[in-house]
Amino acid sequence: MSSSSHLGDRKPFMARLNQMYGWVTDTEGNIDEEWIQVDFDRTVVVDSIYTQGCNECIQIRWVKSYRLSYLSDSDNWKQYNHVVYGQVLPGNSDAATVVSTRLIPPIVTRTVKLQIAEIYDAAGLNRGGLRLDMAGCDF
């Protein structure tokens, strides 16, 4: 996992679903420039994404909505377009609940990037907090 930034020890590898801590962005500027990326090291089919906010991320934070992009066969980034939600997918409305989004259509890729669209930050510092997981199968 990699990211555009991270706050202190809240690094991308901490963004695992249901873990105590999570990934926190280190920006007070444009939150929509912040992203976290998952590289699977092989081609996979991703058909669901699970997101969760963060209670123990220095402050309570969560991602309200996000965009997905992925590497295509030609190693070019493609913006994901959901059949129902379009390009902006629903995130969380609290820090604890896991939100499941079925990807219709599924993505065939090696790498997925989640780019933040909107956040909630209890401290008002414009920093996002996130835990996530993805489901699917080998291609």
From the list 138, 109, 131, the residue with the least C-alpha distance to 21 is 131
Residue 81 lies in a domain: yes
Residue 108 lies in a domain: yes
In total, how many domains does the chain have? 1
Mean predicted lDDT score pLDDT of the chain: 92
What sign results for the dihedral spanned by CA atoms 111, 117, 118, 123?
positive
Residue-range definition of the domain harbouring residue 28: 2-131
The pLDDT score that the predictor gives to residue 29 is 67
Residue 137 lies in a domain: no
**What does the alpha-carbon distance between residue 31 and residue 39 come to, in Å, rounded to a whole number?**
22
Alpha-carbon 128 to chain mean position: 10
**What does the alpha-carbon distance between residue 109 and residue 127 come to, in Å, rounded to a whole number?**
28
**What does the alpha-carbon distance between residue 9 and residue 16 come to, in Å, rounded to a whole number?**
14
Alpha-carbon 104 to chain mean position: 17
- Model-level pTM? 0.92
Q: What is the pLDDT of residues 6-60, one digit of tens each?
A: 988 899 999 999 988 899 998 766 888 899 999 999 999 999 999 999 987 778 9
Residue 102 lies in a domain: yes
**Letter for the amino acid at 110?**
R
CATH number at residue 127: 2.60.120.260
The pLDDT score that the predictor gives to residue 34 is 94
CB 112, CB 68: distance < 8 Å = yes
Q: What is the pLDDT of residues 88-134, one digit of tens each?
A: 999 999 999 999 999 999 999 999 999 999 999 888 888 899 999 99
- The partner residues of 133 in beta bridges, in order of sequence, read 50
**What does the alpha-carbon distance between residue 104 and residue 2 come to, in Å, rounded to a whole number?**
25
